[in-house]
Every structure is written in C-alpha cells, then in structure tokens.
C-alpha cells in the first residue's frame, strides 16, 4: 500500500508490481495515481487506486480496512506523501506557520498511516517512511524541513520498537535530492524552483551543486530508490529494522 503516487511513490509502486505485488495506491492526485497504475497494468501487474487525503485518519482507516478485507492483510506500506513548503528563507524572516507546516504535516500523515496499517499488517510486514539528509544538516534556510526530517527519523526508531513484538519492521529511506523528482512537477520540484529563485539560480545549477557535494559526485536515481525498497521489503533484508537507510550518495556518512 503506497500513500502518494507521484514520482517516488510511483517508482516504488512499479518496482513492487514488477516483483509480483498487488499495489494499492492512495493519494490526493488521481491523475498521478492513474499514471502509475496504468503503467503497472500495461506491464501485466495489478494496481488499484483510491483518491484520499492521507492526513484524514477516518479516510485512511476506511481505505486500509477495505484493502485488508480484499487481501486478508497488508504486507508493505510506504508513505511518500509530499507537500509544498517554504525553504530558502532565513530564520529572521521565517513565519511560525511556514516553519511548522512541514513538521505538522509529515509527522501527522506518517503517524496516521503507520497506526492504521499496523492494525492490519501481517507478521513480517514492513513500514517505510521517507526523509532527506536535511534532518541532520545545519542550515540556513530549511529549518522546517530539517525539523520534519529529524522527526521522521525519530519516529522510525520508535515505531520499530513499538511494532517489533508484532513482527513488523520499520525502515526510513533517506535520500538526497533526486533529479527526476526535482524536474517532474512534484512538490519537491516546486520547492527546488522556489529556492533557486530566492538564490538567483536555477534548478539545474542547484542540482549540479548538490551532486558535487556528495562523495560519489552524483545524486540518487528513482530506480535506485525503488530497487532499494524492494530489497528491504524482501526476506533477504529480514534482519533490518529501525534503520535509517542512507541513499545520499555520500552527502552524509553514518
């Protein structure tokens, strides 16, 4: 079950479906959900879509109950929900509302989807959360994003302990900027464009600078994120839980 069917969610959905999973995509943008689902079906896979707001606990609960009733239980969830939020504004000019928006939205949606899915998840199920290296990077200009990502990493560790007795593994995929996502009309694309404008630059220049700041001198691809998720969801990675999986190309070294 994947919440958010845009660039990252769609890529992971396609990879899971290729490996034989029946994918349930849920989110606020039916066009993006349909694009991913149509690609999956064209390749012979199974995909169902539902329009819902993953900040609405009642809607998420009803959807999870429906999926579990059809399948007998849930094996994997990924929260790939994204929102447009302010970055590139220094603390002295940042409003409380702009700071707190990403913190409240990302922690709320991940709390809701983890809580609801865990009720229906089979033993050996896997919960995926997403974050970026911003959670442990100094500023300036992304305090809200920093706090949100740090919170998601903390939630990953706590959920792993909370759900371990049920045999559920919890993993956070921590990716650096993904060029395809930054240019694909996603929320991250809007954030990149806004920050670039504030800096008097452009998205390509920003991405180039980000790539040069990594040890590998490049940025991760959607395919690499998706393939990592499929491995981590498999029995081959059955010893991994509570982990923040570093997909930053060496922007951070844990």
Residue 124 is part of a domain; what is its CATH number? 3.40.50.720
Contact predicate 111/155, CB 8 Å: yes
Range of the structural domain that residue 158 is part of: 2-177+222-247
Whether residue 253 is contained in a domain is answered as: no
Question: For the segment 230-239, what is each residue's pLDDT rounded down to a tens digit?
Answer: 999 999 999 9
40-61 confidence digits (pLDDT tens): 999 999 999 999 999 999 999 9
* Torsion angle in degrees (nearest 10) through CA of 57, 145, 27, 159: -50
40 phi/psi in degrees, rounded to 5: -65, -45
Residue position matching structure tokens 């922690």: 107
Does 215 fall in a domain?
A: no
Instruction: Determine the pLDDT at residue 128.
Output: 98
- Each residue's pLDDT expressed in tens, for the chain with a length of 254 residues: 999 988 899 999 999 999 999 999 999 999 999 999 999 999 999 999 999 999 999 999 999 999 999 999 999 999 999 998 888 899 999 999 999 999 999 999 999 999 999 999 999 999 999 999 999 988 888 999 999 999 999 999 999 999 999 999 999 999 999 998 877 665 555 565 666 666 677 778 888 988 999 999 999 999 999 999 999 999 999 999 999 999 999 999 97
What DSSP assignment string belongs to 92-160?
GG--HHHHHHHHHHHHHHHHHHHHHHHHHEEEEEEEEEEE-GGGGS--SS-HHHHHHHHHHHHHHHHHH
* Whole-angstrom distance, CA of residue 213 vs CA of residue 234: 32
The C-alpha atoms of residue 208 and residue 211 are separated, in whole angstroms, by: 5
Residue 40 lies in a domain: yes
What is the count of structural domains for the chain?
1
What is the pLDDT at residue 186?
Answer: 58
Look-up of token digits 């949100």: 148
Q: Is residue 36 part of a domain?
A: yes
pLDDT, residue 139, reads: 81
* Domain contains 201: no
* Number of continuous H segments (helices) and E segments (strands) in the chain: 9, 7
In a domain, 109, yes or no: yes
Q: Which residue has the tokens 């009720």?
A: 119
pLDDT value, residue 71:
97
Q: Up-side HSE of residue 36: CA atoms within 13 Å toward CB?
A: 31
pLDDT for residue 195 = 66
The answer to whether residue 57 is domain-embedded is yes
In a domain, 132, yes or no: yes
Predicted local confidence at residue 203, as pLDDT: 78
């Amino acid at each position: 079950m994947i919440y958010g069917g845009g660039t990252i969610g769609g890529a992971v959905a396609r990879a899971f479906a290729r490996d034989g999973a029946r994918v349930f995509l849920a989110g606020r943008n039916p066009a993006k959900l349909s694009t991913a689902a149509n690609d999956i079906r064209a390749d012979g896979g199974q995909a169902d879509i539902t329009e819902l707001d993953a900040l609405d606990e009642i809607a998420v609960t009803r959807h999870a109950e429906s999926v579990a009733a059809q399948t007998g239980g849930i094996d994997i969830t990924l929260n790939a929900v994204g929102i447009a939020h302010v970055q590139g504004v220094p603390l002295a000019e940042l409003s409380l509302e702009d700071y707190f928006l990403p913190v409240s939205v990302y922690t709320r949606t991940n709390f809701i989807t983890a809580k609801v899915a865990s009720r229906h998840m089979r033993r050996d199920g896997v919960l995926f959360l997403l974050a970026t290296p911003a959670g442990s990077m100094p500023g300036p200009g992304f305090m809200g994003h920093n706090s949100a990502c740090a919170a998601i990493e903390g939630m990953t560790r706590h959920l792993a302990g909370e759900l371990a007795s049920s045999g559920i593994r919890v993993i956070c995929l921590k990716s650096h900027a993904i060029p395809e996502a930054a240019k694909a009309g996603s929320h991250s694309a809007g954030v990149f464009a806004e920050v670039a404008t504030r800096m008097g630059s452009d998205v390509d220049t920003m991405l180039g600078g980000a790539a040069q700041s990594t040890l590998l001198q490049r940025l991760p691809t959607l395919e690499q994120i998706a393939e990592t998720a499929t491995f981590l969801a498999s029995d081959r990675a059955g010893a991994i839980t509570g982990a923040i999986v570093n997909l930053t190309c060496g922007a951070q070294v844990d």
